[in-house]
Amino acid sequence: MKSHSPKIISESSITGDVYSSSIYPRGRDGFALTYDWNSSGDLVAALYLQCRNDEEEDFRNCNLADFPSSPDGSSGNDEYVVTDAIHKEYRVFVDFTSGDGELNMRVNIG
């Protein structure tokens, strides 16, 4: 993976649904998402990877394995890896459930 890993989510107070910045893999190169949440707060939310192949398409949930963990009211961090990126554009949908807290996510492409 490349050492440059830009933030795609940097939220200090999530109290509703949030979308990450877009992720554009190079060809079929995969990518890894590293993320942490709730260093102070009690955010509860589900994370979903969404994809599309054209700007005119709506994003849809990808048929990939679920994120290994999501904000659950306590602090945590994890990583989610996509080894074969078959779509042109991806993003993460943060489906808010309750609480308030922070979420930071970085992407490493390649």
- What pTM was estimated for this model as a whole? 0.91
Q: Per-residue confidence at 3, pLDDT binned at 50, 70, 90?
A: very low
Phi-psi region of 8 (alpha: psi -120 to 50; beta: other; left: phi over 0): alpha
Over the stretch 46-104, which tens digit does the pLDDT of each residue have? Answer: 999 999 999 999 999 997 778 999 999 999 999 999 988 999 999 999 999 999 999 99
On the question of pLDDT at 1 being above 60, the answer is: no
pLDDT score at 110: 81
Domains contained in the chain, CATH given: 7-109 (2.60.120.260)
